[in-house]
Amino acid sequence: MAENIKMVEAPEGFSGEGFFATSVDKVVGLARSKSLWPLPFATSCCGIEFMATMAPHYDLARFGSERPSFSPRQADMLLVMGTIAKKMAPVLRQVYEQMAEPRWVISVGACACSGGVFDTYSVLQGIDKVIPVDVYVPGCPPRPEQILDGIMKLQELVRTEPMKRRDSPEYKALLASYGINVI
């Protein structure tokens, strides 16, 4: 009976008589990847697709993201969904900077990834001009399955991320390239 239930496989490690040893990175990564709290930065049409993703049919809660947090303080994953106009860019940057490390960004939808169909004077052509992005989800709007796929890709990223990445010089250089200087 139980063969069709997909259990989370334990990280590779050295197991002996009644004990199991593995590196802290793997355990922390596993814990983080299964409990990503989203900040639904839902601006336009993709926001409605996100509501469909949260609704019981496609249920984002199966991936541990049950609780959306609208304040950046408790959010791990910034889901930028929908068009980001130039008037909205400073707000997006402020929300990103106020999120606690480690933080990840998924840009959902063509408008967030690259300005999408709106190549106009008032639309920011892609949020990676303002904040670093981890996963891009294409589509206008992406189907809920695509959003879930993007979140699963991010979970893979989170699971295998070393603990020291956030202090590494490359990451600091990445942030500095966006003008975010963290002491």
Partner 1 sequence: MSLTNEIIKQKVEEKFGESVKAFSEESFGLLTFEVESAKVIDLMRYLRDDETLRFNFLTTMCGVHYPDNDLNRQFAVVYHMHNWLDNLRIRFKTYLNGENPEVESATKVFLTANWMEREAYDFYGITFTGHPDLRRILNMDEMVSHPLRKEFPMEDGGRTDKDDRYFGREPQNSNLN
Partner 2 sequence: MSEIVVKSIEDKYAELIKQRENADGSELSILNLGPVHPATHGIFQNVLLMDGERIIESESTIGYIHRAFEKIAENRPFYQITPLTDRMNYCSSPINNMGWWLTVEKLLGIEVPKRAQYIRVIMMELARIADHLVCNSILAVDTGAFTGFLYVFQYREKIYEIYEEMCGARLTTNMGRMGGMERDLSDTAYRKIKAFLKEFPAVMSEFESLVSRNRIFMDRCINVGPISAEKAISYGFTGPNLRAAGVDYDVRVMNPYSSYQDFQFDVPVGKSGDTYDRYCVRNAEIWQSVRIIQQAMDNLPSGPYHADVPDYYLPPKEDVYQNMEALIYHFKIVMGEIPVPKNEVYHSVEAGNGELGFYLISDGSRVPYRLHFRRPCFIYYQSFADIVKGHLLSDAIVILSSLNVIAGELDA
Partner 3 sequence: MLPLNKCRMTSNTDFLPILIQFVFVAAFIALMIGVSHYVGPKRHSKNKDANFECGVKQYGNARIPFSVKYFLVAILFVLFDVEVIFLYPWAVNFREFGIDGLWKMVMFMGLLLVGFFYVMKKGALEWE
Residue ranges binding partner 3 (CB under 8 A): 71-73, 91-92, 94-95, 97-98, 101, 166-167, 180-183
Residue 121, interface with partner 1 (CB under 8 A)?
yes
Least distance (Å) from partner 2 to the CB of residue 39? 8
Sole binder of partner 2 in the list 29, 33, 38, 49 (CB under 8 A): 49
The β-bridge partners of 40 are 79
Determine the residue type at 106.
I
Residue 82, interface with partner 2 (CB under 8 A)?
yes
Q: How many CA atoms are closer than 13 Å to the CA of 105, on its beta-carbon side?
A: 23
Q: How many helices, marked H, and strands, marked E, lie in the chain?
A: 6, 6
Least distance (Å) from partner 3 to the CB of residue 163? 10
Residue 85, interface with partner 2 (CB under 8 A)?
yes
Residue 38, interface with partner 1 (CB under 8 A)?
no
Closest CA relative to residue 123, chosen from 60, 12, 66, 44: 44
Q: In the stretch 75-94, what mask flags binding to partner 1 with x, by CB under 8 A? A: -----------xx-------
Closest CA relative to residue 37, chosen from 81, 1, 82, 70: 70
CA distance 55 to 154: 21
Answer left, alpha or beta for residue 115, where phi above 0 means left and psi between -120 and 50 means alpha.
Answer: left
98 binds, among partner 1, partner 2, partner 3, none (CB under 5 to 8 A by kind): partner 3
Judged by CB under 8 A, the stretch of 2-10, 41-49, 155-163, 173-181 that binds partner 2 is 41-49
Residue 126, interface with partner 1 (CB under 8 A)?
yes
